Amino acid sequence: MKRIITYGTFDVLHFGHINLLKRAKSLGDYLIVGLSSDEFNAIKNKKSYYNYNQRKIMLEGCRYVDLVIPENNWEQKTEDIIKYQADIFIMGDDWQGKFDYLKDYCEVIYLKRTPNVSSTQTKTYLKG
């Protein structure tokens, strides 16, 4: 079984997120999503519209996602890759090169983002 792991805030879930999750899942058999906790978002100076539990429920409802785990800090990725025996680590290409150090533990792939969609754009549009 090939295991894939990815991370994110996944606030205001949109088709760009779904595209990323679908493409990630297509590379393996089991997709693990590290979901940024509210506390970790605060450290990153991010504020989500939905809280962790709400975002977790949305991700768990996505047919491509097999397991959602909390992401509490930047450093846990190595531990998670080992713990969950991940074969591939995936992030959007806006993170290109930032996680290359994980190549010692698994394959690292940066996927192109879906053009013209982001949580920030969605939130801005909804504010009117």
pLDDT tens string 19-41: 999 999 999 999 999 999 999 99
**Would you say 102 and 108 are in contact if contact means Cβ atoms under 8 Å apart?**
yes
Cα-based angle 3, 67, 101 (whole degrees, multiple of 5): 50
The larger pLDDT score, comparing residue 116 to residue 44, is at 44
What is the band of 14 on the pLDDT scale with cuts at 50, 70, 90?
confident
Which residues make Cβ contacts (< 8 Å) with residue 54, sequence separation at least 6?
none
pLDDT at 42: 95
Q: Is the pLDDT at 125 greater than 60, yes or no? A: no
**Choice among 2, 44, 47, 103 that is catalytic:** 44
Q: Which strand (E) or helix (H) includes residue 40?
A: helix 38-43
| Other Cβ atoms within 10 Å of 44 Cβ, number | 10
What is the band of 119 on the pLDDT scale with cuts at 50, 70, 90?
low
Task: Give the C-alpha separation, 117 to 83, whole Å.
Answer: 33
44 tagged catalytic = yes
**Choice among 22, 25, 46, 77 that is catalytic:** 46
CATH fold label, 3-127 = Rossmann fold (3.40.50)
Query: pTM value?
Result: 0.90
Domain map (residue ranges) of the chain: 3-127
